[in-house]
Chains A and B, each alone.
Chain A
Amino acid sequence: DGGITQSPKYLFRKEGQNVTLSCEQNLNHDAMYWYRQDPGQGLRLIYYSQIVNDFQKGDIAEGYSVSREKKESFPLTVTSAQKNPTAFYLCASSMGQGAAYGYTFGSGTRLTVV
């Protein structure tokens, strides 16, 4: 079955560490996205990529970095510059820009700073 795989499901980060969250899709979708979810704040866009080797900052990109070397993969690195990284991270993809295309989401990674 086609879908989005996020790993790991749970991740613990020590202060000052960089960690990378994995997102892989086999839907042949062009666009991929990273969202952060915090209680009471809803989902906020971190980064998005419309095509391979191109990505754009979202609303809360500071302290995060991404790469898009393959169509199927869009990993997110949470750097030590992100002051409050504890959150639920969701990866999504969509076929393209048309109105008929919706988003498909992965099952998420919960990141906790210890």
Chain B
Amino acid sequence: KQEVTQIPAALSVPEGENLVLNCSFTDSAIYNLQWFRQDPGKGLTSLLLIQSSQREQTSGRLNASLDKSSGRSTLYIAASQPGDSATYLCAVRGGRSGGSNYKLTFGKGTLLTVNP
């Protein structure tokens, strides 16, 4: 059964700091990995998607890396801003269990607070 773990569970940083969020997964037979952002009481906004054949993806101040063989991904946020405060969720699609081709398995998220 695929399991996804995110560390740390919460992170508080001053504005302008560069930071790294970590995600690990137990089954490396994935199709892709997606990072999402969730604001309180809202839905999920997709930030980056990394296909299993890729090593990293970049969008603006965000960079996500994937090491499939070791079951790890990191989300790097450069020059953090108070508007980056949210919960960041990592999710993987795929694994060796039945019916997993479509299913996304989520971590519990990292709650990020960027202080002005």
Interface residues of A (CB under 8 A from B): 6, 31, 33, 40-43, 45, 48, 50, 56, 58, 88, 90, 92, 94, 97-108, 110
Contact B101 A97 (CB under 8 A): yes
Q: How far is the CA of A56 from the CA of B101 in the complex (A)?
A: 12
Contact B43 A106 (CB under 8 A): yes
* Across-interface contacts of A43 in B (CB, < 8 A): 89, 91, 104, 106
Closest to B99 in A: A56
Q: How large is the interface on B (under 10, 10 to 19, 20 to 34, 35 or more residues)?
A: 20 to 34
Name the one of A40, A45, A48 contacting B108, with C-beta atoms under 8 angstroms: A40
B93-116 contact mask (Cβ, 8 Å, vs A): 1 or 0? 100000101111011110000000
Interface residues of B (CB under 8 A from A): 31-32, 34, 36, 41-46, 49, 51-53, 89, 91, 93, 99, 101-104, 106-109
Closest to B6 in A: A42
CB distance from A35 to the nearest CB of B (A): 8
* Across-interface contacts of B109 in A (CB, < 8 A): 42
Given known pairs A45-B103, A48-B102, the reply for A107 and B49 (CB within 8 Å) is no
Closest to A41 in B: B108
Name the one of A88, A99, A104 contacting B52, with C-beta atoms under 8 angstroms: A99
Closest to B105 in A: A45
Q: How far is the CA of A42 from the CA of B78 in the complex (A)?
A: 26
Closest to A31 in B: B102
* Across-interface contacts of A58 in B (CB, < 8 A): 103
Q: How far is the CA of A74 from the CA of B68 in the complex (A)?
A: 33
Given known pairs A40-B108, A41-B108, A99-B51, the reply for A105 and B102 (CB within 8 Å) is no
